[in-house]
Amino acid sequence: MNHSSNDTQAVKLTGEEVAKHNNEESCWVIINGRAYDVTEFMPEHPGGMKIILKYAGKDGTEAYAPIHPPDTLDKYLDKSKHLGEVDMNTVQQEEKEVDPDEAERQERIQRMPILEQCYNLMDFEAVARRVMKKSAWAYYSSGADDEITLRENHSAFHKIWFRPRVLVDVERIDTSTTMLGTKVSMPFYVTATALGKLGNPEGEVVLTRGAKKHNVIQMIPTLASCSFDEIVDAKEGDQVQWLQLYVNKDRAITKRIIEHAEKRGCKGLFITVDAPQLGRREKDMRSKFDDVGSNVQNTGGDNVDRSQGAARAISSFIDPSLSWKDIPWFLSVTNMPIILKGVQRVEDVMRAIAAGVHGVVLSNHGGRQLDTARSGIEILAEVMPELRRMGLDKKIEIYIDGGVRRATDIIKALCLGATGVGIGRPFLYAMSAYGLPGVDRAMQLLKDEMEMNMRLIGCSRVEELGPDMVDTRGLSMHTTSISDTLGLNVYDPLVGPKEKARL
């Protein structure tokens, strides 16, 4: 959209010229065939200076592309620093170091299981872990602090047990439902996750196509690798998309984004409320450290390196002062239904109803923000009885996300009162490992599981699912246990029958 001030340059820059600006005093980098002077910008780079200096005087496109939306430089770097085109023939090809980790990864890619060997959503994760780039894996898979909430999210479902009905006619199963007025084939949606190109060069549009095929809704992330318009352009027919919104400190920008989304047909505005600051994810930070490397030991506490992984690098614009008093403004600037994403207690659900929004997502942000925050499904089990008690359970749509891996998980959420569930990482992993066919199969597997498990619980339509079909008594029993080290050491464990000795 914007045109750089140097667009009219007659002569291209040479690699040699750029290469001179290879240090803190003067730092140029080449991105997509153009040079930029980032000397002044560098200290403000959300991802830290070090990573920029690694590419000072060089072509940084390969590292830059997957984690910066296409319009980043236009938006954030003053036009005067856009130095114009570079004659790429004159740029010295970097000898790539042979990275033994990368070589092993390539080998693993050769030996990838075929898609048919994936029988459930965990299988895609197992494959993705082996074939994704280490840093991409670290970004997707990491969670806050000790990753206790990350793991609790799925684990919580295992504390809920079914009370199925039998002898119900379940010949025809209908898994369709309605979310914010849109009829969908299955009670889940593709929730927003950042930086899709880390896993697949095409990015989020792969998910758009998968969602179309299975008639489910995609939520478009603010921090996508593809631009918003690319993702909207990828939709087909009457396909429905929602927008996930990180609210910018500059409300004018936010307003522009909302209005644009509404104009382009988005049918829901999901405002993230659990991320006034993006979480520290140590797995991601360690991965970044390995990447940047370091030869000099920095021993001063003052000088703590604040570059904290990809998450923090991309989120500095988010407004930490966002509060309940901003809600009326949002309601005034759009006709899209508004849903608060990241609500974590019943009191705030009540407040959301009072504020007049149309829905909430009970979520802890995939375990990436506050560790030992409760799972969405546990919050749901707290929220719904209270709403029912007050006759408010029809006033608002309740969604949850986090840890959903099986159709049984979805069914449990619906039994407890959710309208639908968001699924994020599993589709990223499927896309990273197998592209669109992976996403397609992941959704198909969910559909097959869904149909079967609806039959087995004795319900032919999702409306029939209710709280009497689950036993949640163990759900809030968060126990830990300390092993009896000496006792376990001295215990002589039982063994089974011994085989005859080999001759």
E-only strand ranges, 248-346: 269-272, 338-343
Q: Which of 55, 246, 429, 434 is catalytic?
A: 246
Residues 464 to 503 in contact with its own copies, rule: CB under 8 A: 468, 471, 473-474, 476-482, 484-487, 489-502
What secondary structure does DSSP assign to 77-98, as a single string? S-GGGEEEEB-GGGSPPPPPP-
Residue 98 binds to its own copies (criterion: CB under 8 A): no
Residues 449 to 468 in contact with its own copies, rule: CB under 8 A: 449, 452-453, 455-457, 468
Residue 332 binds to its own copies (criterion: CB under 8 A): no
Q: Which of 82, 154, 358, 365 is catalytic?
A: 365
How far apart are the C-alpha atoms of 165 and 75, rounded to whole Å? 57
How far apart are the C-alpha atoms of 186 and 239, rounded to whole Å? 14
Among positions 202, 204, 230, 282, the unique one binding its own copies when judged by CB under 8 A? 282
174 forms beta bridges with 461
Q: Three-class SS of residue 34? A: strand
Q: 385: exposed, middle or buried (C-beta count within 10 Å: 0-12, 13-18, 19+)? A: middle
Nearer to its own copies (CB atom), residue 140 or residue 189: 140
The answer to whether residues 427 and 190 touch, using CB atoms and an 8 Å cutoff, is: yes
Q: How far is the CB of 182 from its own copies (least distance, A)?
A: 22
Residues 146 to 185 in contact with its own copies, rule: CB under 8 A: 146-148, 151-152, 154-171
Q: Which of 274, 284, 348, 401 is catalytic?
A: 274
How far apart are the C-alpha atoms of 152 and 114, rounded to whole Å? 30
Tokens of 211: 């969602």
Give Cα separations from 321 to 277, 325, 326, 329, 421 (angstroms). Answer: 10, 10, 10, 14, 28
Closest by CA position to 243, among listed 334, 355, 164, 321: 334
Residue 212 binds to its own copies (criterion: CB under 8 A): no
Q: How far is the CB of 491 from its own copies (least distance, A)?
A: 7
Among positions 3, 183, 286, 388, the unique one binding its own copies when judged by CB under 8 A? 286
| CA 68 from centre of chain | 15
Site stretch for its own copies (CB under 8 A), options 71-79, 194-202, 238-246, 286-294? 286-294
471 forms beta bridges with 161
Give Cα separations from 179 to 239, 353, 397, 466 (angstroms). Answer: 13, 17, 8, 18
Q: Three-class SS of residue 379? A: helix
Among positions 38, 261, 273, 462, the unique one binding its own copies when judged by CB under 8 A? 273
Residue 202 binds to its own copies (criterion: CB under 8 A): no
Q: What is the DSSP letter of 248?
A: B
Among positions 57, 279, 402, 422, the unique one binding its own copies when judged by CB under 8 A? 279
Compute how many residues bind its own copies; rule: CB under 8 A: 138
The yes-or-no answer on residue 365 being catalytic is yes
Residues 41 to 80 in contact with its own copies, rule: CB under 8 A: none
What secondary structure does DSSP assign to 383-435, as a single string? HHHHHHHTT-TTSSEEEEESS--SHHHHHHHHHHT-SEEEE-HHHHHHHHHHH
Residues 2 to 31 in contact with its own copies, rule: CB under 8 A: none
Among positions 59, 204, 274, 397, the unique one binding its own copies when judged by CB under 8 A? 274
Residue 289 binds to its own copies (criterion: CB under 8 A): yes
| H or E stretch at 177 | strand 177-179
The yes-or-no answer on residue 291 being catalytic is no
Tokens of 4: 């750089």
Tokens of 129: 């872990």
Residue 208 binds to its own copies (criterion: CB under 8 A): no
Tokens of 77: 């770097």
Nearer to its own copies (CB atom), residue 60 or residue 438: 438
Q: How far is the CB of 289 from its own copies (least distance, A)?
A: 6
Q: How far is the CB of 470 from its own copies (least distance, A)?
A: 9
Residue 207 binds to its own copies (criterion: CB under 8 A): no
Nearer to its own copies (CB atom), residue 43 or residue 164: 164
Residue 434 binds to its own copies (criterion: CB under 8 A): yes
* In the block, residue with structure tokens 């190109």: 197
Residue 97 binds to its own copies (criterion: CB under 8 A): no
The yes-or-no answer on residue 246 being catalytic is yes
Among positions 3, 259, 323, 329, the unique one binding its own copies when judged by CB under 8 A? 323
Q: How far is the CB of 411 from its own copies (least distance, A)?
A: 9
Task: Name, in order, each residue with C-beta under 8 angstroms of 394's C-beta and a sequence gap of 6 or more.
Answer: none
Among positions 198, 219, 343, 410, the unique one binding its own copies when judged by CB under 8 A? 343
Angle at which helix 425-457 crosses helix 407-416, to 10 degrees, equals 70
Q: How far is the CB of 105 from its own copies (least distance, A)?
A: 13
Q: How far is the CB of 128 from its own copies (least distance, A)?
A: 9
Residue 313 binds to its own copies (criterion: CB under 8 A): no
Backbone CA torsion sign across 146, 150, 154, 160: positive
Residues 114 to 153 in contact with its own copies, rule: CB under 8 A: 114-120, 122-123, 125-127, 129-130, 137, 141, 145-148, 151-152
How far apart are the C-alpha atoms of 432 and 66, rounded to whole Å? 13
Closest by CA position to 205, among listed 468, 427, 379: 427
Residues 360 to 379 in contact with its own copies, rule: CB under 8 A: 369-374, 378
Amino acid at 50: K
Nearer to its own copies (CB atom), residue 300 or residue 391: 300
Nearer to its own copies (CB atom), residue 112 or residue 390: 112
Tokens of 384: 């719904």
Q: How far is the CB of 487 from its own copies (least distance, A)?
A: 6
Residue 448 binds to its own copies (criterion: CB under 8 A): yes
Residues that are catalytic: 246, 274, 365
